[in-house]
Amino acid sequence: MSVNRRDLLRGAAATAVASTLPARMFAQTTVAQSEGVHLQTLSDGTLSLPRSFITGAMPAEADEILARYGVTGDALTPDCNVTLLQSGDRTVLFDVGSGTEFMPTAGKLADALAAAGVDPYDVTDVIFTHAHPDHLWGSFDDFGDMWFPNATHHIGRAEWDYWTDPNTVSTIGTERQTFAVGAANRLGELSDQISLFDDGAEIISGIAARATYGHTPGHMSFETRVGNQSVMIVGDAIGNHHVGFERPEWASGSDQDADLGASTRLKLLDQLNTDQMLLVGYHLPNGGIGYAEKRGNGYHFVSAS
């Protein structure tokens, strides 16, 4: 029996699950479930970011907020939560992590999928919130092959148009040029399996696109039905559980369009709080699952796990 390179990678992932990496790398947190439908998050690991990436030019009060959440150093290490939906004959991933070429602390999704008993060949749909490295680069394995070869890959039309525009790399700013090159290359490789959608579209049954622009020009969130429960998968529209909730109106250094990102965050948090809707945030703690609770002039992330 011959063994191909994908089989070798899958075998390596299974070995890692058994022995070599800490258990938290394979954290699975159930978001919601109903008859025949199961929604959970899987860990792709963590990032290591400079504090200024979040705070940017925020007032000094940002330091006070961060200190209350135990963030006192110069680096932030946010979680990366990939959402997995299993419903009938559909196995859907919302974003795919960063692969092994971005940061050594991230790119653990292959191991998390193996721990969850999900074969990459069985994934039917990949739905991208946006095309940043920690959400897109995991589309390919270490050999440059697609991790999910049988999946339709869905991305918002505005996001696709932006990252595939050859002018983007020269206009995005030097600090994000590697993002532009990486996105253009990978989206180009995925082009035969890409399906584009617009705001409000029902991508597949029970999953509707909601425009949440600002973090990137075409960032999307997704309202997903699980039985009689509605869950909003917000990606990076709300990028952290401290400043982003308490002072959502402040411009964040992580957003490409900081003013639009702040406006989007305010509207989204208001909706989530008013509707008491469960949310999943890509970089929020404890699997990223919880609620937005209004407190004073801001909000508070209430973890559901």
Say if CB 244 and CB 69 are below 8 A apart. Answer: no
pLDDT at 278 (0 to 100): 96
Q: Tens digits of per-residue pLDDT, 53-73?
A: 777 667 778 888 999 999 888
Between 22 and 30, whose confidence is greater?
30
Distant-in-sequence, close-in-space partners of 44: CB < 8 Å, separation ≥ 6: 80, 81, 82, 97, 98, 106, 107, 108, 109, 112, 134, 138
For residue 4, what pLDDT band results from cuts at 50, 70 and 90? very low
Q: Tens digits of per-residue pLDDT, 137-192?
A: 999 999 999 999 999 999 999 999 999 999 999 999 999 999 999 999 999 999 99
Q: Is 287 left (phi over 0), alpha (psi -120 to 50) or beta?
A: left
pLDDT at 190 (0 to 100): 98
Q: Would you give the end-to-end CA distance of the chain in angstroms?
A: 44
Is 224's pLDDT higher than 80?
yes
Q: Which of 3-7, 122-126, 212-216, 245-249 has the lowest mean pLDDT?
A: 3-7
Is 14's pLDDT higher than 60?
no
Q: Name residue, tokens 């305010």.
A: 266
Q: What is the average per-residue pLDDT within 205-234?
A: 95
pLDDT at 261 (0 to 100): 97
Is 236's pLDDT higher than 60?
yes
Q: What is the average per-residue pLDDT within 244-255?
A: 94
Is 2's pLDDT higher than 80?
no
Is 20's pLDDT higher than 90?
no
Predicted TM-score (pTM) of this structure: 0.90
Q: Name residue, tokens 């973090």.
A: 215
Is 295's pLDDT higher than 90?
yes
Domains parsed from the chain with CATH numbers: 25-303 (3.60.15.10)
Q: What is the average per-residue pLDDT within 244-248?
A: 96
